[in-house]
A and B are shown apart, each in its own frame.
Chain A
Amino acid sequence: MAPLIALVDCNNFYVSCERVFRPDLWDKPVAVLSNNDGCIVSRSQEVKDLGIKTGTPVYQVRHLVNKHHIQLFSSNYALYADMSARVMSLLEEFAPAVEVYSIDEAFLDLTGVCRDPVAYGQQIRATVQRCTGIPVCLGLGPTKTLVKLANYAAKKWPQTGGVLDLSDPVRRERLMRIVPAGEVWGIGPRIAARLNRLGITTVWNLASQPVERMQAQFNVTVARTVLELNGIPCLELEEMAPDKQQIVCSRSFSRRLTEYRELSEALAEFASRAAEKLRSQQSVAGHLSVFIRTNPFNPQEPQYQRSAGVKLKAATQDTRVLVGETHRLLKEIFRTGYRYQKCGVQLSQIQPASMQEQLDLFDLSMTIRQSDSQALMQAMDRINRRFPKGIAVASTGFDKAWQSKVERLSSRYTTDWRELVGVK
């Protein structure tokens, strides 16, 4: 049976999430900003049509924002994560295997599932749109690289009706001849430039290259890409996202921090969040490191950056232990007289919590304390799931002056009882 894969990709995902609850914005230009409200990371079609590129700092397009009344939102991750989970759970009804590739896209294995792939794709699209309000496009084909290409085309050309199947080699060739090689999944700008210098400018040029030559001149990834463009699968569907081997929580601040206390609060908060992520994948970490730095792009200010790490005595998932170690490390590296712009916490040597060994055979108190710790952390996570930001260790501070800017945050319509959408 010929393999059939689909890529479902949400259109302008963050913007679409905001719009579900704001009918007044359905036909207005809308953009969502990055952490700290700095750059534009998601754009409605109206904003794209104004020529604003993704990643643009807001201050650079302030005149367009004012002139066209572009509605700006801070990133509302609670909302986006919930909407993403809804989309993914709907997709699971349509395919026996789903690989959640990112917050807004998933690969589906549809091999042998449907007779008419385009009609099935339209059905998926209509279901997601109706049940969540999120518009999606689908690319279909025998390999991941081809369905990425199909999805790109389905988004770019509305005539496709949002669903495009590239199983047919004739249709494939027609599309490949008009799409630049740099649009292919896995071909970064640097490789694209090198390909262009060799006269390989379109996807069709790339797909027509001898595989051995590509492997010799570039690398095995480019060679595989050529095979995939010819309908020969080289990349498997990874159904289960592997557990993260490293967890990093870091942030730039809305203003510079100068006090030890401010940095220690921020780091305590990041360590708490990292510990929460660790527990959500049922893991423990054996190593912790922290870093602090000034703004490297401001040459007028004295520069300082330093990191420090520690191998934990016992691998842990306990917020209190991690926060305590974070503070010890900060004391080592903190220097007064600098204006700090960013800091962060990194957990590594991550392993399943079930593999946690008992440290000292004769120290029973250790084992007892460990189960106490697990129970306490579980309780804490449960409270915080019900009442977001409900409880935290006190050293994360109360005024949170260091927090990043989220001045245009919308409601958490789906995760907080106090912030439901109102209907007249």
Chain B
Amino acid sequence: MKKIEYYSLNTLTWVIVAFVVFPIIWMVKVSLHKNGEILQGITSMAIPDPQWLNYKNLWETINFGQYFKNSLLICTSTMFISCFLAVLAGYALARYKFPGSGLFGMSVIGTQMIPGIMFLLPIYLLFLNIKDTFGLPMVDTYWGMILVYSAFYTPMSIWIIRSFFVSIPKELEESARIDGCNRIQAFVRIILPLSIPGIIAMCVYIFLTAWDELMFAWVLTTTPEVQTIPVGIRLFVGQYTNRYDLLMSAATVVTLPVIITFFLSQKYFISGMTAGAVKG
């Protein structure tokens, strides 16, 4: 009886795995077909004649390399800036109970409750204002996007890294201070190295979220020189007839680095992301 249960639960697990993974396999499979075949409707699982050229054509049909570069540049810069800010603020929130710390902590979480559209136009107008007043272009610039993204992903990152700092015993710092370190030295030499796993988790989180952002990219960029992948990818549908072959290979190409990053950092990422959620 126990054995039957064991094996049926195992089977159920693998059935779920199959269901869950199927759409991703389908995406990769479709990306290897000719567009004509796709438009007729593909039904078999076999790929008679894999079109590896789709992956090459993708970069030539539209300027996909430019979009890819933009996304990479904006997301990486955002990651570094947000990480820097969140580590400082998260540490302050984890270690000190200063007047206003409660309010600051609450407003950090509160930012998540404001709908994006509430910021969308004001930020756009603010950017135009800055250009009019200071002559500094903000719309259609890398730094405009990086500024907005960094500010948006810092609050949640603070929350993630704060719970990590809380889990590091205070005594470590205190003994470092007895040994003659000042607060900053104790923080840099003792706490930072210990929180590398948490910082990696947070960085991956920031990168994945920024890689995924669509609405602001849509409004705050209008030229392909700055637009990110989600904005560029729609050119495959509509603009020039429906190129589902290229669309699916593009989707595969943008998913691949994310999956690789994720699995390389999985060990840290999961523990870091769940620490906050489990400890509350």
A binds B: no
Interface residues in chain A, defined as those with a beta carbon under 8 Å from any beta carbon in chain B: none
